[in-house]
Amino acid sequence: MSTIKGLHHITAIAGDAQENLDFYVGTLGMRLVKRTVNQDAPDTYHLFYADRDGSPGIDLTFFPWPKLPARRRGWGVWDEVMLGVPKGSLEYWVDRMNAFGVSHSGIETRFGERVLPYEDPHGLRSALVECETYDAFTYRPWPDSPVPQEYQIHSLAGIRIFVRDEAATADFLARAFGFRFETAEQEHWKRYIVGGGKAGQRIELCVQPEIARGSWGTGAVHHVAWRAGDEAEQAELASAAASAGAQPTPVIDRFWFKSVYLQEPSGALNEIATDGPGFAVDEAPEALGERLVLPPKFEQHRDTIEGGLPPLSVSQALGR
Ligand code: ZN
């Protein structure tokens, strides 16, 4: 049986697009590797932040929808996004967040690792986690980042979720993706892992009977995408998910990768995404993210689409 390799990307809902860019590029030092539109709603941006190359496993992407109400935490919606940083780097990050006025709750220990929880400017619950990456994961530092290489975010580390029925979700994650229970601690949180359980190979589940159903809104995770090496592996994983009770969509060509979407038993949205072809398929690697890129089917509407989007400046985010 195939298992997922780890996280591929995480997509969340932001408020104002420039504020989102200022935070992820200017404060967190990630690279904008793709500036495009939501393929299901081309009047909104879809912004991708990652390492230098946009490697699968470090992409954090956003739909800026400033008019939505705020998200509500609860079961059925992915909760905290964890980003991996090198060991010993959290003191640097505390100083940086203080300098930029980011609301954080100080360094804590979870599952034996040092973690810095914070919220992004639009309420996305997040944490930096000192952890290691797995062997089949590639990370390339971004030389132009305002954050020195030795402190840069190197991966998506994991994701937290409240579920309604732990056994149902755990059984589904095992059968569809290959996750297994690892350990429980941290109040009600339990960690499930795939592969060696390194950065990107973790889900932390929590069951709280008093918690209500969550809802999407500004500051919510929209979906979590998992890595399938190629289309054959993706088909195998989608079929395992269907056997486990999900209803996977047909394969959708997202141009930079191919995607299948499905819900886990609480309703949270998952995607199985192929590694390739990657973000350099339509832009030179040194120019990633500089201009608005449209999938071919939208190219004929470029003027209308560009005219409807707010201006966005990486130089402004970098203060350069
Ligand atoms: Zn996606």
Residue-wise pLDDT for 226-277, tens only, equals: 999 899 999 999 999 999 999 999 999 998 999 999 999 999 999 999 998 9
pTM: 0.97
Q: Residues 263, 270: contact at Cβ < 8 Å?
A: yes
Element holding 158 (H helix, E strand)? strand 155-162
CB within 5 A of ion ligand 1: which residues?
A: 11, 225, 271
Distance from the alpha carbon of residue 320 to the mean position of ligand 1, in angstroms: 31
Q: Residues 131, 143: contact at Cβ < 8 Å?
A: no
Residue found by looking up tokens 């999407």 in the block: 216
Distance from the alpha carbon of residue 95 to the mean position of ligand 1, in angstroms: 32
Contacts of 276 (CB under 8 A, 6+ apart): 230, 257
Residue-wise pLDDT for 186-236, tens only, equals: 778 999 999 999 999 999 999 887 889 999 999 999 999 999 989 999 999
Distance from the alpha carbon of residue 38 to the mean position of ligand 1, in angstroms: 10
Distance from the alpha carbon of residue 11 to the mean position of ligand 1, in angstroms: 6
Contacts of 315 (CB under 8 A, 6+ apart): none
Domain ranges of the chain: 7-317
CATH code reported for the domain at 7-317 = 3.10.180.10
